[in-house]
Amino acid sequence: MNRDTICVQGGYTPGNGEPRQIPIIQSTTFKYATSEDMGKLFDLEADGYFYSRLQNPTCDLVARKICELEGGTAAMLTSSGQAANFFALFNLCEAGDHIVASSTIYGGTFNLISVTMKKMGIEATFVDPLCTEEELNAAFRPNTKVVFGETIANPALTVLDIEKFAKAAHAHGVPLIVDNTFPTPVNCRPFEWGADIVTHSTTKYMDGHGAVLGGAIVDGGKFDWLAHADKFPGLCAPDESYHGITYAEKFGKEGAFITKATAQLMRDFGAVQSPQSAFILNLGLESLHVRMPRHVENAQAIAEFLEQQPQVEYVNYPGLKSNKYYALAQKYLGNGGCGVVSFNLKGGRKAAEAFMKRLQLAAIETHVADARTCCLNPATTTHRQMTDEQLAAAGIPAAGVPAGLVRMSCGLEDKEDLLADLQQALAGIAE
């Protein structure tokens, strides 16, 4: 099926007399007639549900739709995008292992890998997404277990050369995980370019209305775990915490990764998405293919407008021909990327404060990827405790946060109204 149709009808097909909408199974537990029946579930010998901390029918139906959209073989929902990235990485890594990651990933994920997972004994090397193949290969170690990047980085808006990173990962016998939150599968399917695992913060465009937190992990089902069994004992050796199951043998390339993440990590960490949240997420997914082109259209118009304004020092949007990621965006994001634009005002903190105060349509929020346009100046909000000098050197390596930087997530409003709002807000800087 076409992705547009999958957005509307994927994941769930009601039978005769069954509910048209995905049913909300708001139950923590499930009843069985005999212990033997339930025992088969615990042994992973039968399909079914026994406790919603591991799996829930509503969540599984929505995960199935996301799986179909990405072109994967298995998927699961999590409580947040951060949980999805942690599960995807920790499903492959343990103390003593090593991760290669793009340096321009979301700051929260950067901290997850560089600080929290380091405390767990997992080291990381961060590389410039525009590094050469030689530089990328030099980052690998004998104990490297995975490569991680974002299709479009949040908020740096760098575009990952998926094929280059996939080639390097596979040459070293490890999978590539790509966070595809910003483009969504409507605008990019990383599996088609060599990625092995895809993650999402469904809180962003997939929900699209700022209504529910959530995350998703999708397995492309192509990485041969058993061919690299020495690197992945968690998948290729018996799991003594779960009846001695060897996931790669029992569930193959198509299902081993998600089964292990569910049976082991969701069991132990419990970062589950609620059935209610999954239901609301599905409502957002039904219009994703309609919303994304409008987000891109508005962002492109705003980026082109801002590039011509004398108050603006520079604009960062991969859809601009002047952007250094333009060629990669044309290759991987043929339908356009996302609706997020960042730009730096010449007047620094003072100019940003004046600009933000005058905005009428664009709301000041930490959120992005919403139906409603939202805006953020880190210097006066999330990073307000830092001086201008500290801001210039802050954040992700080689990507500071200038005091005049504004991040705008372009919503679904009429672009002429958004442009008028920007024009009057910029005019206030000089007053």
* pLDDT, one tens digit for every residue, the chain (431 residues): 899 999 999 999 999 999 999 999 999 999 999 999 888 888 888 888 988 999 999 999 999 999 999 999 999 999 999 999 999 999 999 999 999 999 999 888 999 999 999 999 999 999 999 999 999 999 999 999 999 999 999 888 999 999 999 999 999 999 999 999 999 999 999 999 999 999 999 999 999 999 999 999 999 999 999 999 999 999 999 999 888 999 999 999 999 999 999 999 999 999 999 999 999 999 999 999 999 999 999 999 999 999 999 999 999 999 999 999 999 999 999 889 999 999 999 988 889 999 999 999 999 998 999 999 999 987 766 655 556 665 555 444 334 567 888 999 999 999 999 999 999 999 988 65
In the chain, the number of structural domains is 2
Q: Are residues 342 and 421 in the same domain?
A: yes
Between 415-427 and 288-307, two packed helices, what is the crossing angle to 10 degrees? 30
Q: Are residues 191 and 302 in the same domain?
A: no
The CATH number of the domain holding residue 304 is: 3.90.1150.10
The residue from 267, 283, 299 where one domain ends is: 283
Task: Report in angstroms the alpha-carbon separations of 218 from 68, 298, 353.
Answer: 9, 29, 41
Q: Are residues 268 and 328 in the same domain?
A: no
The residue from 247, 268, 283 where one domain ends is: 283
Q: Are residues 273 and 390 in the same domain?
A: no
**What type of residue is 14?**
P
Q: Are residues 310 and 265 in the same domain?
A: no
Q: How far is C-alpha 255 from the geometric centre of its chain's CA atoms?
A: 21
CB-CB neighbours of 151 under 10 Å: 26
Q: Are residues 220 and 195 in the same domain?
A: yes
Dihedral sign for Cα 15, 18, 19, 25, please: negative
Q: Are residues 295 and 219 in the same domain?
A: no
Q: Are residues 70 and 167 in the same domain?
A: yes
Q: How far apart are CA 335 and CA 200, in angstroms?
A: 19
Between 348-358 and 415-427, two packed helices, what is the crossing angle to 10 degrees? 130
Q: How far apart are CA 10 and CA 67, in angstroms?
A: 9
Q: How far apart are CA 188 and CA 399, in angstroms?
A: 24
* 121-125-129 Cα angle (round to 5): 145
Residue 115's Cβ-side half-sphere holds a number of Cα atoms within 13 Å equal to 7
Q: Which helix or strand (DSSP H or E) is residue 108 part of?
A: helix 107-111
Range of the domain at 66: 3-283
Q: How far apart are CA 92 and CA 157, in angstroms?
A: 27
Q: Are residues 374 and 394 in the same domain?
A: yes
Q: Are residues 119 and 247 in the same domain?
A: yes
